[in-house]
Amino acid sequence: MTVDHKQRLLAAIADRTAVAGVVGLGYVGLPLAMEFCEAGFTVVGFDVSEAVCAGLMSGQSHILDVPADQLARHVKSGKFSASTDEAILSRADAISIAVPTPLAKTRDPDMSFVIAAAASVERQAHKGMLIVLESTTYPGTTRDLMQPRLEALGYTIGGDVFLAFSPERVDPGNPTWHTKNTPKIIGGIGPSSTEVAKALYETCIDTVVPVSSPEAAELTKLLENTFRSVNIGLVNEMAIICDRLGVDVWEVIDAAATKPFGFMKFTPGPGIGGHCIPLDPHYLAWKMRTLNYKTRFIDLASEINSAMPDVVVEKVSRGLNEVSKSVKGSRALVLGVAYKRDIDDMRESPAFDVIRLLEERGAQVVFHDPHVPKFREDGHERFGVALTDDELAKADVVVVITDHRAVDYQRVRDQASLVVDTRNALAGTTASKARVLSLSALHR
Ligand code: SAJ
């Protein structure tokens, strides 16, 4: 008698007797695990970090968007458990994989985390299991990398096991959009995989959008992030153009943003950081290179965005020069080093590049970030300074890299002598003795 694994899994999802598994308990996996718990599933989490699993099992959340009391409640009830022992996954009927997909030094995809996670899942796989890859990756990963590995174990996709791709859309710290209310795209290998994956995610996510294939789902994510990278590159080039024309780029962007249709506001800056926007488009560029196609928009946006730290340092040099100072020997206070405002994450932050370029030119660089008291670079720790009036006054230049809301920019303008403002953070402050250079033109 052949078992109808799809019907059995659908029934177990419907009555919540299915066990949900999550591989990778970071900013994507942990919120998802909590949503599965809230939907009534028992959830098993697997992460390679002992510290992460121990912390979670003691009710400590290392993820900004997951409240400790919610986590503790699910641990205490036995609904959620986390372990570094992959055997925990043998209890799962469905497994979502949310591990990093960084770039190697060669700017090629580093699939090592996905491959390691897939190997763990395969060792614990059994008939009737659903596997969903959530990590942002090049189109074809699910079909060309994940499917053959499962078939090599003797499973038929859509019969014995089910396989789909569903991109994560987590925007850490976003007060409005979170895992439950952000629409989720799902593309399975065959209709049965899509149907089962959709049934699972619909138990905890308000809107689930099926697409016809994993490639469509993989490309959806890459379009979303490439869209951001290209539009940020466009406004960064606009800042360079405005600088040459003596126009304030922020004024131009704000004016364009009054158009109620056909325009979407992006803002220039010192470059792009984070573990997504600077990296994800390169997954698509890499894939297309293997097909002898050059992705010009992706490459051009990357070229412009990664050149912005040089533009900033040129501004600093120009500002100092106008008061007969050189970068060499000047004291520069970098204000804000996280990769975007009001968070503490420094991954791929352009602040690293700006600090390096200034120091290469002989500047003495210190930094202040209300969310980042220190960071590690080249194996040593670098500590921030307190943002005192004295620090501001003794800096030859203050460089605003990240415009955290916790900083009093009027005080910065009152105490500093020269400010290079790459984020328009000083907009609305009143003039003082300080000279303020924006990315494009003198502040009006
Ligand atoms: N940035 C600009 N100008 C802009 C917008 C952003 O210079 O107009 C810079 C930011 O300062 C930052 C970088 O780009 O350094 C990335 O910013 P981001 O707002 O895209 O934020 P991320 O990378 O934390 O998260 C993004 C998500 N953000 C938004 O949609 C607003 C979303 O694209 C994805 O869910 C997420 O990447 C991901 O995981 O892919």
pLDDT tens profile 390-427: 999 999 999 999 999 999 999 999 999 999 999 999 99
Percent of the chain with pLDDT strictly greater than 70:
99
Phi, psi (deg, nearest 5) at residue 218: -60, -40
* Residue bearing the CA closest to ligand 1, atom 32: 171
267: Cβ below 6 Å to ligand 1? yes
Q: Quote the ligand 1 centre to 277 CA distance (angstroms).
A: 6
What was the pLDDT predicted at 173?
79
232: Cβ below 6 Å to ligand 1? yes
Active site residue 276: yes
pLDDT tens profile 293-346: 999 999 999 999 999 999 999 999 999 999 999 999 999 999 999 999 998 899
Residues 208 and 264 in one domain: no
Residues 183 and 308 in one domain: no
Read off the tokens for 78.
């036995």
pLDDT tens profile 218-227: 999 999 999 9
Choosing from 212, 242, 258, the residue where a domain stops is 212
What was the pLDDT predicted at 378?
84
Residues 270 and 322 in one domain: yes
Ligand 1 atom nearest to 343, measured from its CA: 24
What was the pLDDT predicted at 51?
97
Choosing from 162, 196, 212, the residue where a domain stops is 212
225: Cβ below 6 Å to ligand 1? yes
Q: What is the 3-state secondary structure (H, E, C) of 311-356?
A: HHHHHHHHHHHCCCCCCCCCEEEEECCCCCCCCCCCCCCHHHHHHH
pLDDT at 443 over 90: no
pLDDT at 444 over 50: no
Q: Quote the ligand 1 centre to 356 CA distance (angstroms).
A: 23
Residues 228 and 199 in one domain: no
pTM of the model: 0.94
pLDDT tens profile 244-260: 999 999 999 999 999 99
Choosing from 212, 246, 268, the residue where a domain stops is 212
Residues 195 and 336 in one domain: no
**CATH code for position 84:** 3.40.50.720
pLDDT at 175 over 70: yes
Q: Quote the ligand 1 centre to 276 CA distance (angstroms).
A: 7
Q: Quote the ligand 1 centre to 339 CA distance (angstroms).
A: 9
Residues 253 and 384 in one domain: yes
Residues 273 and 389 in one domain: yes
Residues 348 and 407 in one domain: yes
Residues 20 and 139 in one domain: yes
170: Cβ below 6 Å to ligand 1? yes
Read off the tokens for 185.
């795209």
> Which of 5-9, 49-53, 62-66, 208-212 is predicted with the least confidence, judged by mean pLDDT?
62-66
273: Cβ below 6 Å to ligand 1? yes
Beta bridge partners of 81: 44
* Residue bearing the CA closest to ligand 1, atom 26: 171
Ligand 1 atom nearest to 341, measured from its CA: 11
What was the pLDDT predicted at 64?
84
What was the pLDDT predicted at 2?
76
250: Cβ below 6 Å to ligand 1? no
135: Cβ below 6 Å to ligand 1? no
342: Cβ below 6 Å to ligand 1? no
What was the pLDDT predicted at 442?
58
269: Cβ below 6 Å to ligand 1? yes
Q: Quote the ligand 1 centre to 284 CA distance (angstroms).
A: 18
pLDDT tens profile 111-166: 999 999 999 999 999 999 999 999 999 999 999 999 999 999 999 999 999 999 99
Task: List CB contacts of 419: < 8 A, sequence separation 6 or more.
Answer: 397, 398, 399, 400, 412, 413, 426, 434, 435, 436, 437
| Marked catalytic residue, from 37, 53, 242, 276 | 276
What was the pLDDT predicted at 188?
98
* Residue bearing the CA closest to ligand 1, atom 38: 276
Residues 10 and 89 in one domain: yes
Q: Yes or no: say if 146 and 118 are a contact pair by the CB < 8 Å rule.
A: yes
Residues 25 and 74 in one domain: yes
Structural domain span for residue 430 = 218-444
pLDDT tens profile 276-301: 898 999 999 999 999 999 999 999 99
Residue 243, sorted as left (phi over 0), alpha (psi -120 to 50) or beta, turns out to be alpha
What was the pLDDT predicted at 385?
98
Q: Quote the ligand 1 centre to 217 CA distance (angstroms).
A: 20
Number of domains in the chain: 2
Polymer length of the chain: 444
Rounded to the nearest integer, the mean pLDDT of the chain is: 96
Residues 273 and 124 in one domain: no
